[in-house]
């Protein structure tokens, strides 16, 4: 808040809010570049998928990949990524997509550097 008071309009705050497709709010999603051919988890064959670090999100990511008909041990490379590194990793090409929690989706949409999340989980 100090930065905003000294330099108005240069600081954005993204808060965490529960959401969902039905209410038009992003809660979690698959984040990709605007020109990506990835439209769903099924399109991740041969790609790198970033996710929040830890066994819980690795397990969730593996489940989502498997539910899309892919083998998480052979078809997709899973990458632990700190929340603050997820959008830069997609934009910079370190990963092809991320399974991200709010506020990453809102930050990504606001940055204009990548596509709106193609879907929520």
- pLDDT tens string 42-83: 999 999 999 999 999 999 999 999 999 999 999 999 999 998
What's the CATH code, domain 16-111?
3.40.190.10
Q: Indicate the domain borders of the chain.
A: 16-111
Q: What is the spatial distance between Cα 64 and Cα 79, in angstroms, rounded to a whole number?
A: 14
Q: What is the spatial distance between Cα 105 and Cα 26, in angstroms, rounded to a whole number?
A: 6
Verdict on whether the full-model pTM lies above 0.85: no
């Amino acid at each position: 808040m100090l930065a905003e008071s000294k330099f108005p309009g240069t600081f954005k705050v993204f808060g965490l809010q529960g959401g969902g497709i039905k209410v038009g709010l992003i809660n979690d999603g698959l984040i990709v570049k605007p020109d990506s051919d990835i439209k769903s988890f099924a399109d991740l064959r041969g790609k790198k998928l970033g996710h929040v670090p830890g066994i819980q999100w690795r397990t969730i990511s593996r489940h989502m990949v498997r539910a899309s008909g892919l083998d998480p041990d052979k078809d997709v490379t899973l990458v632990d990524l700190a929340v603050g590194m997820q959008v830069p990793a997609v934009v910079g090409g370190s990963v092809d997509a991320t399974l991200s929690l709010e506020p990453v989706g809102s930050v990504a949409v606001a940055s204009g550097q990548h596509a709106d999340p193609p879907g929520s989980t």
